[in-house]
Structure 1
Amino acid sequence: MRQNGTQRQFRSGSGRVSFLIERKGWLTLALLFLLLLACMIVSAGIGTLRIAPLDALLATFGYGEPVHVMTVQKLRMPRIVTGAFVGASLAASGAIMQGLIRNPLASPDIIGITGGASVAATALLTLAPSASIAWLPPTAFVGAALMTFIVYGLAWKQGVKPTTLVLIGVGVGAAAQAVNTMLVVMSPMYVTAKAYNWLLGSVYGAGWPQAKQILIWFAVTGLIAFILSRRINLLQLGDDVAQAAGSSVQRDRFLLLGTAAVLAGAGVAIGGPIGFIALMAPHIARRFAGVTYGLLIPTSALVGAILIVIADTAARTVMSPLDIPVGVFTAAIGAPFFIILLLRRKRSGD
């Protein structure tokens, strides 16, 4: 019987890696991508100056009234594109984490990656307030990377087990939160306001340089995540089965953790620690993609991008002219979502 799917093969350092994504999966990705584009165009038209969706689409490509072109190209679209890639990065990282740890409640927040990025960024904002804002993304990224190595090193004992990784991550993340609080409390008021706004999660003021920066990080690490997705599928079967199938479990776990850290670090570096996107997006994506990670990771990325675009549109318009950090909106939605997940797992006996 002929399978209703399309085969894609890639070469990696360990040999040939194959993926099977059914045509239904490609259709799902295409529809979500079109939905994302529609959300971005509609968002570009919402604000103090209202622009019809068709006019916003034309303005995106430089056509239409000059005031529309300037508003869309210079002010709104850079922020929208940046937010979309921030959401995609966080969501893809969350999907990898949930597969790696084999726990649907896992996210970069759980094992301290977000906390590491936050500490590094807060330290820059409070201890070197005169430093250029351009240093914020690389500083946050370095913090995320260092925290990943610290957590992995502390969890290592003849290998790393998912449960140990979570326990160490929660403890280190709590310590990072304490350091953040201390840095903010001990800083002058004008510095505190700046750091606090970043810690809430926001893409306010993002321009094309930030959009290009996170695009590069997401494109590279997203491709790596897709190539490694087959290894996540193997790890779902347990360490013994994965090893029997030819997987180097500890090496794969380290590579996947590093990839998730880069994705999360890139998102946090640009948009701050925007909560719950990495948790919610993979759960929503499973409704469309199932549990095959070759499809789940890109689907999660698209869902995360859509969530951020919608949340940020609400953040900048609901209480206009106030611009509320997008992290406030994602937390308002994500906290009840997390509670519902906990209750469902309790009822199912997990």
Structure 2
Amino acid sequence: MTAVKKNWLIATGLVVAILATLIVSLNLGVIRISPIEILNTFTGNGDGQNEMVLFHFRLPRMVIAILIGAAMAVSGSILQSVTQNDLADPGIIGINAGAGFSVILYLFFFQGNAFEGTDLSVFLMPIASLVGSTVAAVLIYAISWKNGVSPMRLVLVGIGINSAFAALIIIFQLKMDPKDFTRATVWLSGNISGTDWVYVLTLLPWVLVLIPLVIMKAGTLNTLHFGDEVAAGLGAAVERERRILLLIAVALAGASVSVGGGIAFIGLVVPHLARKLVGSMHGALIPIAALMGALLLLVADTVGRNILAPSEIPVGLVVSAVGGIYFVYLLMKS
């Protein structure tokens, strides 16, 4: 079997797995809906309760999980290639924390109005998040610069920036009223409960535009993955391309954080798993990572929503439970 056929087979298998998980997840919950009832509802023959549960609560939440999972996985893939560091992840090197701090500032100054989910507030949150994630990335890049950017120095500086933003987040959280403090805490833990189609429309353009753009830059990522000297020898404008790709990674992570909060480790774990399946060539790696990220977060949300029903575990905590173990494994391996 050729590599191309193998990659298409893997991609098809992941799409089938996502669809199967969607069906199972639509069925599970406090209100159980059988596959036949799901089919009837989608064909317009279901009852009002099932229609509300499926179309207003479960389905938009699942679409959000798919979009965030894909965006975070691609963001992590970019960062690992650009920094040439297998431990790079937007949640570890401070990009998520910068985005989170910016959104916390936005929520703090709006005094809870942004939590009400009005169209304007929801659409402004990714912009606020992008500002914070960009500031974090610029700080990381500037402090890391010393006759170029050392991949290890960039990650270490990122960890320091992550800690600084985490402290600032806590300071502003403590100044919120108790209701907003609780909401912000849940959101920061990585929570997509209560998301609706407005949130989908907020995140969808970022994913539809930026992920295809990354796939178009697969050749550049391939050269950067082999080091700056090799990339420069092949004619790549190393620093310019690195900045462009970092900006794309920052935008994907920032948009995801604005909707789902601090969901970490997707960008760390998924690129490693994808490379084991299809290798390091980014023309195949990026689409497979996007599909794997979507599947992983969808499964994690289904588990978090049902394992302690009617209570829920934020999807970010479910992912962290698995991702944290994998992170320790990678540290021991390296």
Aligned: 1:86 with 2:68:
yes
Provide the rounded CA distance (Å) in 1 between the counterparts of 2:245 and 2:36.
41
Deviation track 1:218-275 (CA, whole Å, cap 9, x = no partner) reads 0101011111111111112221111111111111111111111111111111100112
* 1:190-339 equivalence runs, <5 A: 190-339=179-328
1:29 CA displacement: 1.2
Provide the rounded CA distance (Å) in 1 between the counterparts of 2:47 and 2:278.
41
Deviation track 1:152-198 (CA, whole Å, cap 9, x = no partner) reads 23333443332332222122111101101111223332221111011
Provide the rounded CA distance (Å) in 1 between the counterparts of 2:223 and 2:279.
15
Structure 1 residues 194 and 344, CA gap change in structure 2 (3 angstroms): same
* Greater shift in the superposed pair: 73-82 or 141-150: 141-150
Segments of structure 1 that go 5 or more residues without pairing to the other structure are 6-21, 346-350
**Counterpart for residue 59 of structure 2:** 77
Equivalent residue in structure 1 for 2:5, among 4, 8, 23: 23
TM-score by structure 1 length? 0.88
Aligned: 1:341 with 2:323:
no
Provide the rounded CA distance (Å) in 1 between the counterparts of 2:42 and 2:136.
39
- Whichever structure has more strand as a proportion of its residues is 1
* Greater shift in the superposed pair: 215-224 or 54-63: 54-63
**Counterpart for residue 100 of structure 1:** 82
Aligned: 1:186 with 2:175:
yes
Aligned: 1:111 with 2:93:
yes
**Counterpart for residue 59 of structure 1:** 41
Cα root mean square deviation, aligned:
1.8
1:54 CA displacement: 4.5
Provide the rounded CA distance (Å) in 2 between the counterparts of 1:161 and 1:50.
52
Deviation track 1:42-101 (CA, whole Å, cap 9, x = no partner) reads 101111111223432453454444432332112110111111101111111111111111
Provide the rounded CA distance (Å) in 2 between the counterparts of 1:61 and 1:175.
51
1:127 CA displacement: 3.6
1:325 CA displacement: 1.2
Counterpart amino acid of residue 38 in structure 1: A
**Counterpart for residue 128 of structure 2:** 139
Provide the rounded CA distance (Å) in 1 between the counterparts of 2:10 and 2:305.
30
Provide the rounded CA distance (Å) in 1 between the counterparts of 2:109 and 2:306.
33
Provide the rounded CA distance (Å) in 1 between the counterparts of 2:176 and 2:48.
44
Provide the rounded CA distance (Å) in 2 between the counterparts of 1:61 and 1:282.
37
How many pairs were matched up?
A: 327
TM-score by structure 2 length? 0.92
Counterpart amino acid of residue 44 in structure 1: L
* Greater shift in the superposed pair: 254-263 or 178-187: 178-187
